[in-house]
Structure 1
Amino acid sequence: MNSNYSINTDSHGAKGKPTPTKQNCTPAKRIQIVGLRMVREASSILYPGRKIRKPQDAAELFRQFIGECDREVFAILCLNTKNEPTAIHTVSTGTLNASLVHPRETFKLAILANSAAIVACHNHPSGTPDPSPQDIELTERLRDSGHLLGIDLLDHIILGDGNFISMKEKALM
């Protein structure tokens, strides 16, 4: 095995001055030591049902969390192995008719929360919960990403004015 490989960097040592290494006089790279932790918000939601058994359960919980927002909000509900909610998180807040969502950002909290599964949800401020082609494409990307991570996407709920659509019930995922 050849362990002589080179990576070009623009790194600097202490106080911003290049620090040559013994092997090749290339400046050493300073690597930050970081920690990552999940922070609980001051507020919480009381959920009397304890388990998510059907799409309506998730929709009611998301409606409490998102409310009647005038912009698109994309959120996830993290679940343990018994389908009990453990955390809820806003992934993205967008505009009147769009929000930017990426699988990396979607699953970040799910991983930190040791989730077995998630339910995704977003609202349509127009009031009509019909899924767009972009909603369907996003759901497929999240399903596939979750499969790779071992975190199931159980459903994608779209909230409208007093109603909702479950993409799982509509066989769109």
Structure 2
Amino acid sequence: MAKEKLEMVKEIVRIKQVITKGEVARERISSPDDAVEIATKYIGDEDREVFLVLVLNTKNQVNAIHRCHVGSINASIVHTREVFKVAILNNGASIIVAHNHPSYNPEPSREDIEVSKRLREAGVLLGIELLDSLIVTDNSRKYISLKEKGYL
């Protein structure tokens, strides 16, 4: 009887990561500068705040880059579930998050720090480490690493 029930169970949803070889170089992140270079390329010159998630594998290679949220000129609503959804779906071992400041002043706000701490705590529960939270501008040399500043 139990065997008959097992045979009747069908897979409803199947999620599988498929990486197309040769489309995108899987860059290895070894320092905040490496991540800043990628983030600046994608969101540095945006005219509103954009929240980016870099999903990394166990070798710190980029598995995925995801524009998670687009906000206003001085704010972006960040939902923890949306940040980690992309990490889970892309087999992330860790993440680095980044957002831009359209004012070109990378100093973190209280909200920037609180969101980063909340993401770090959620990552601990999920087993997906938040390696850093970056604030970038249009100049890859003008950024803030919240980890380097001691906030994470």
Q: TM-score range by the shorter chain?
A: 0.7 to 0.9
Identity of aligned residues (%): 51
Count how many residue pairs are aligned between Structure 1 and Structure 2. 136
Is 1:152 aligned to residue 129 of structure 2? Answer: yes
CA contact (8 A) 1:69 1:125 kept: yes
- In 2, the alpha carbon distance for the partners of 1:115 and 1:46 equals 17
**Structure 2: 5+ residue runs without aligned partners?**
1-11
Root mean square deviation of aligned Cα: 1.8
CA contact (8 A) 1:128 1:161 kept: no
When Rg is computed on C-alpha atoms for both structures, the one with the higher figure is 1
- The runs of 4+ residues in structure 1 deviating greater than 2 Å are 33-40, 44-47
Residue 4 of structure 2 aligns with which residue? Answer: none
Q: Which has the higher helix share?
A: 2
Is 1:61 aligned to residue 38 of structure 2? Answer: yes
Question: What TM-score do you get using the length of structure 1 for normalisation?
Answer: 0.73
- In 2, the alpha carbon distance for the partners of 1:171 and 1:144 equals 15
Instruction: Look up the equivalent residue of 1:165 and give its one-letter code.
Output: I
Residue 76 of structure 2 aligns with which residue? Answer: 99
- In 2, the alpha carbon distance for the partners of 1:69 and 1:145 equals 28
CA contact (8 A) 2:49 2:101 kept: yes
Is 1:72 aligned to residue 49 of structure 2? Answer: yes
Residue 24 of structure 1 aligns with which residue? Answer: none
- In 2, the alpha carbon distance for the partners of 1:36 and 1:51 equals 25
Q: Helix, strand or coil: the match of 1:92?
A: strand
- In 1, the alpha carbon distance for the partners of 2:24 and 2:115 equals 27
- In 2, the alpha carbon distance for the partners of 1:161 and 1:113 equals 28
- In 1, the alpha carbon distance for the partners of 2:52 and 2:37 equals 13
**Structure 1: 5+ residue runs without aligned partners?**
1-32
Which of 102, 105, 115 is the matching residue for 1:138? 115
**Higher relative contact order (CA closer than 8 Å, sequence separation 6+):** 2
- In 1, the alpha carbon distance for the partners of 2:28 and 2:138 equals 24
